[in-house]
Chain A
Amino acid sequence: MKKMTYKERMEAVVVRREIPDKIPINPWTWPALSKELLGIQAGEYCRKLGDTAAKISIASWKICKYDNISFMAGASQEAETIGKASGLKGVTTYPEHDWPWVSEPYVKTLEDADKLVVPDVKKQQPLAGLLKAIEITAKKVGHEVGVSVRNEDPWVHLMQLRGTSNFILDVAHASRDREAYHNITKMTRIAAETIIEFAKACKDAGSWMHEWGGAGATQDVISIDTYKHMVFGHYFWINRELRRYGIPTWHHLCGQGISDLTLIPKLDADIYHITQAVNLAKAKILIGLTRSERYDTQAIAGNINPTGALLLGKPKEVEEEIKAQIKIAGEGGGYIMSTGCAMAIDTPVENVKTWVKARDMHGKYPLKFHAKGV
């Protein structure tokens, strides 16, 4: 099979539904390797974005040579952007070597829903800083490798804006309080529209695909009925709008995802990213072989445990895990290897390099071994 470029390999799975030359890897490194590689604390990636995030991302890719450079600002910074643009007061705390968090919620009561606005993402910090990072990276290495961006899901934004406990209680009240229901709907719409506007700006800045989704609206938190009534329409809308703008979508189903698997293809994303909490073999069959309006089969990404062998293990253990993943999900294509969720900060660079080497050795099509089945 002809050797593909990094981006061709990704596109083969995400949009063309072709079997690539080897299984692509999109590892969601973000700032995980920054300290070991460059001596830069992970917190600087989030605090400075722009040049710093670009420098970290390019260095991580050049050393490890996976197939896609992904960027992320973090849920709290996405919420901070909405909060600040809406003129609401809150506090985001930026630790030195970790992701930031909202330490004082921007939305104090549900009535603040009327105050929320969709930010001008090209100007409003901190998201505007991420656009700068994408632009720099796409200019420097975009001819070799694709650049993409990940957003959290709208309900994670709302959990950050409102405070997680407050928001979950709001959801509980919404089942018997019409006003609470409408306020949550309004806020969800604003957060969804922010993702759409940001994804468009990212594409203009040089990204090729948009990754989004998180733990806010999954079966770990809410019932499938709540998902259908309060979430599904907004999430489908995001994927549809991005498609209209020519942006392939990578939909991250955090935690245990959605219990009603038949709903997943109806979200109409180009690829579904599952976490380590989900059985990959079952997902490959139950989601992967499902038909949607646009595709005869669905592409799946996932689900290397970021805190297992990758963070705590030796290279040999990483290789074994990669081989196992390939055996489970590699056959027939339609699969991208990725961490099930964010790569843990200070994951050893050697382990990520081992991941890519193991893929090069065992993940070339046609595969030398076959799936064991469910």
Chain B
Amino acid sequence: MKDEQLQFLKKLALAVYSQDINETQKLAKEYLKKGFDAYEGIVEGMAKGIQKVGKEYESGTMWLPDMMAAANAMKAGTAILMPHITPRNEIGKKEKLKIIIGTIEGDVHDIGKNLVNVILSASGYEVIDIGVDVPAENFIEKAKETGANVVGVSALLNTTMTKIPMVIEYAKQVKYRENVKIIIGGAPTSQKFADEIGADGYAADATTAPRVIKEMLGG
């Protein structure tokens, strides 16, 4: 990797970390013009910025608005670089794990879920976001359709978390439980709740999700 590219990657990381959408977009365009690798721009550049924000969020020196704004900057930059990723550059495409994520039916909270999307994508997973207010069966049907290895279910209300077990029940009903690992998260959920309903994993927050998934898959 050339020094010039390394400088660009640092600038991209800083632009995301600084939550600056315009600067991120401008740098992403310049980066492409220079002919640098788009995938590296995302993973070695912008993702480093969002990971730093994630670490600071976890340690309590950055807050949700910072995280959201940085995620938005990354989203804007990714939109520019993504179309230029060549199959050669999709690291381990064959081995890349697919993850379905969504917020359970009756719940329209999407902040946490979107953060998980950004962080898992940045960690190299292929994330298929099926949105908010998603009926239990759709999580499993989407996993069957896409061959996803992991299903992530989020609930932000104690009134909707009680619907999470329906995803597990449905997976059993259609005899697909053995094919997917199910991870849950969201404010009212807990490790205890995950154990009680028979989920495979629980992520206390967005930044711990990659580690939990890795452990869940025995990695």
Q: In the complex the two chains form, is B68's CB within 8 Å of A168's CB?
A: yes
Q: In the complex the two chains form, is B69's CB within 8 Å of A173's CB?
A: yes
Q: Does A290 belong to the interface (CB within 8 Å)?
A: no
Q: In the complex the two chains form, is B63's CB within 8 Å of A222's CB?
A: yes
Chain A residues whose C-beta falls within 8 Å of the C-beta of B193 in the assembled complex: 307, 312
Chain B residues whose C-beta falls within 8 Å of the C-beta of A255 in the assembled complex: 187
Nearest B residue (CB) for A225 = B63
Q: Does B108 belong to the interface (CB within 8 Å)?
A: yes
Q: Does B188 belong to the interface (CB within 8 Å)?
A: yes
Nearest A residue (CB) for B187 = A255
Chain B residues whose C-beta falls within 8 Å of the C-beta of A99 in the assembled complex: 157, 159
Q: Does A223 belong to the interface (CB within 8 Å)?
A: yes
Take A307-B161, A344-B162, A345-B159 as given contacts and tell me if A171 and B65 are in contact as well, using a CB distance cutoff of 8 Å: yes
Q: Does A169 belong to the interface (CB within 8 Å)?
A: yes
Q: In the complex the two chains form, is A169's CB within 8 Å of B158's CB?
A: no
Main secondary structure on A side of the interface with B: loop
How many chain-A residues does the 8 Å CB contact rule pick out? Answer: 30
Q: How far is the CB of A104 from chain B (nearest CB, A)?
A: 11
Q: Does B72 belong to the interface (CB within 8 Å)?
A: yes
Chain-A contact segment, one of B109-117, B134-142, B168-176: B109-117
Q: How far is the CB of B77 from chain A (nearest CB, A)?
A: 16
Q: In the complex the two chains form, is A95's CB within 8 Å of B65's CB?
A: no
Q: How far is the CA of A342 from the CA of B160 in the complex (A)?
A: 12
Q: Does B200 belong to the interface (CB within 8 Å)?
A: no
Q: How far is the CB of A268 from chain B (nearest CB, A)?
A: 25
Q: Does B106 belong to the interface (CB within 8 Å)?
A: yes
Q: Does B95 belong to the interface (CB within 8 Å)?
A: no
Given contacts A168-B68, A169-B72, 14 further A-B contacts (CB under 8 A): A98-B106, A101-B108, A171-B65, A172-B19, A172-B65, A172-B68, A215-B187, A220-B64, A222-B63, A223-B63, A306-B158, A311-B158, A312-B196, A344-B158
Q: How far is the CB of A187 from chain B (nearest CB, A)?
A: 15
Q: In the complex the two chains form, is B159's CB within 8 Å of A165's CB?
A: no
Q: In the complex the two chains form, is A165's CB within 8 Å of B114's CB?
A: yes
Q: In the complex the two chains form, is B162's CB within 8 Å of A342's CB?
A: no
Q: How far is the CA of A220 from the CA of B64 in the complex (A)?
A: 8
Q: Does B66 belong to the interface (CB within 8 Å)?
A: yes
Q: Does A15 belong to the interface (CB within 8 Å)?
A: no
Q: How far is the CB of A210 from chain B (nearest CB, A)?
A: 23
Q: How far is the CA of A103 from the CA of B106 in the complex (A)?
A: 11
Q: How far is the CA of A342 from the CA of B188 in the complex (A)?
A: 11
Nearest A residue (CB) for B69 = A172
Q: In the complex the two chains form, is A164's CB within 8 Å of B110's CB?
A: yes
Chain B residues whose C-beta falls within 8 Å of the C-beta of A341 in the assembled complex: 158
Contact with A along B60-103 (1 / 0, CB 8 A): 00011110110010000000000000000000000000000000
Contact with B along A256-298 (1 / 0, CB 8 A): 0000000000000000000000000000000000000000000
Q: How far is the CA of A164 from the CA of B69 in the complex (A)?
A: 13
Interfacial residues of chain A within 278-333, with CB under 8 A of chain B in the complex: 306-308, 311-312
Q: How far is the CB of A27 from chain B (nearest CB, A)?
A: 14
Nearest B residue (CB) for A103 = B108
Take A164-B110, A169-B69, A172-B69 as given contacts and tell me if A221 and B63 are in contact as well, using a CB distance cutoff of 8 Å: yes
Chain B residues whose C-beta falls within 8 Å of the C-beta of A21 in the assembled complex: none
Q: In the complex the two chains form, is B162's CB within 8 Å of A168's CB?
A: no
Q: How far is the CA of A99 from the CA of B160 in the complex (A)?
A: 10
Nearest A residue (CB) for B157 = A99
Q: Does A120 belong to the interface (CB within 8 Å)?
A: no
